[in-house]
Amino acid sequence: DRSRLARLRHKPAVTLDGQRVELLANIELPEDTAGAVKAGAVGVGLFRSEFLFMGRDATDLASLPNEEEQFEAYKRAVEGMQGMPVTIRTIDVGADKPLEGRRDDLHLNPALGLRAIRWSLSEPAMFLTQLRAILRAAAHGEIHLLIPMLAHSSEIRQTLSLLDFARAELDNRGVAYGPLKVGAMIEIPAAALMVRTFLRYFDFLSIGTNDLIQYTLAIDRADESVAHLYDPAHPAVLRLVADTIAECRRQNKPVSVCGEMAGDVAFTRLLLGLGLRSFSMHPSQIPAVKQEVLRADTGKLVPWANTVIESDEPAQKLADAA
Ligand code: PEP
Ligand code: MG
């Protein structure tokens, strides 16, 4: 079975009816790119940059990775992918990913608090440092910049103007940087409900189902006592995912899923049927998802997927159906 999976590595992910599907890797550190390449990923769909910041004291901004250290890390990730694109998500801390010194436990609902892009916008010096490091690394390979947890159009504009400011700072210093495609995570229901607004600002979208489920169903993803209600197959979740994919396809904008759903073979056929052609997951899931893709006929999956999302009940037996 291992050698069969190894043979799969170089096989392009194409469905029976000839639809090309992009299988990307989620990584936490630059050295994870080796495993991504080995698994047959055609790029990194989610580099969770906050892992560079973990173990540092967030109350002391000077102890966080500086521009040079971050630049080296992003450059190493790009080089590790050997010419394939790397999607770097700006720091996404808070709630399930606390930083040292950030007392998330002082807040009643840390998942609803000052996390991810909200924290970045509240610490512009820290955020600009990260943006400059990413821009500089983009001179060494194809980087896509991904912004987590956006919900407000004002946050979008603030983020993009800080990005312009970071470019201007590098211009002033005479430091080289490269072009970036800029995208947003869709992981708050408000964002999923205003995808058309997001698409006016962004080159691509990536659906973060882990948080989208949490916020749609009001289930703390870290709370064991409600884990049985954390249901990726809930029709409300699937409709937000389906509508996001559909709007991106209408507008010819790239869209991927980078939450756990993308690496869960039980959802591969449903997501293909909803029109998804880009999946980002833990590298270890790539061979199994590729096998599902190779067996799928999207023409047959479309009508079935539409009945699934119209259903009143959670989708059952997704893998066996259709
Ligand atoms: C998500 O929310 O689905 C996601 C990919 O981000 P994270 O799991 O890092 O919050
Ligand atoms: Mg998330």
Mean pLDDT for 23-39 is 98
* Pocket of ligand 1 from Cβ distances under 6 Å: 46, 48, 92, 187, 208-211, 258-259
**Could you tell me the pLDDT band of residue 108, with boundaries at 50, 70 and 90?**
confident
From atom 6 of ligand 1, which residue's Cα is the shortest distance away?
Answer: 208
Mean pLDDT for 256-282 is 98
For 168, residues 6+ apart whose C-beta sits below 8 A from its C-beta are none
Cα 207 to chain centroid, rounded: 6
The ipTM is 0.99
SS3 298: helix
pLDDT score at 85: 98
Give me ligand 2 centre to Cα 158, in Å: 20
76, pLDDT greater than 90: yes
Distances (CA, A) of 149 to 15, 22, 133: 32, 24, 21
3, pLDDT greater than 80: no
319, pLDDT greater than 60: no
Give me ligand 2 centre to Cα 188, in Å: 9
Q: Which two tokens stand for residue 198?
A: 């997001």
**Could you tell me the pLDDT band of residue 312, with boundaries at 50, 70 and 90?**
confident
Burial 12-21, CB ≥16 within 10 A → b, else e: ebebeeebeb
From atom 3 of ligand 1, which residue's Cα is the shortest distance away?
Answer: 208
Atom of ligand 1 nearest to the CA of 258: 5
Average pLDDT of the chain is 94
Range in 211-225, 255-269, 303-317 the model is least confident about: 303-317
For residue 15, the 8-state DSSP code is: -
Atom of ligand 1 nearest to the CA of 208: 3
List the shell of residues around ion ligand 2, using CB closer than 5 Å.
Answer: 187, 208, 211
Which of 84 and 311 is assigned the larger pLDDT? Answer: 84
Q: Tell me if 178 sits within 8 A of 203, measured CB to CB.
A: no
Range in 5-19, 28-42, 137-151, 172-186 the model is least confident about: 5-19
pLDDT score at 97: 76
pLDDT score at 229: 96
From atom 4 of ligand 1, which residue's Cα is the shortest distance away?
Answer: 208
Range in 6-10, 197-201, 240-244, 261-265 the model is least confident about: 6-10
Element holding 80 (H helix, E strand) = helix 67-80
What gap in Å lies between CA 180 and CA 283, rounded to an integer?
A: 24
C-alpha closest to that of 255 among 245, 267, 243, 240: 245
Q: Tell me if 33 sits within 8 A of 15, measured CB to CB.
A: no
Pocket test for ligand 1, best of 29, 32, 211, 230 (most atoms within 8 A of CB): 211
pLDDT score at 103: 66
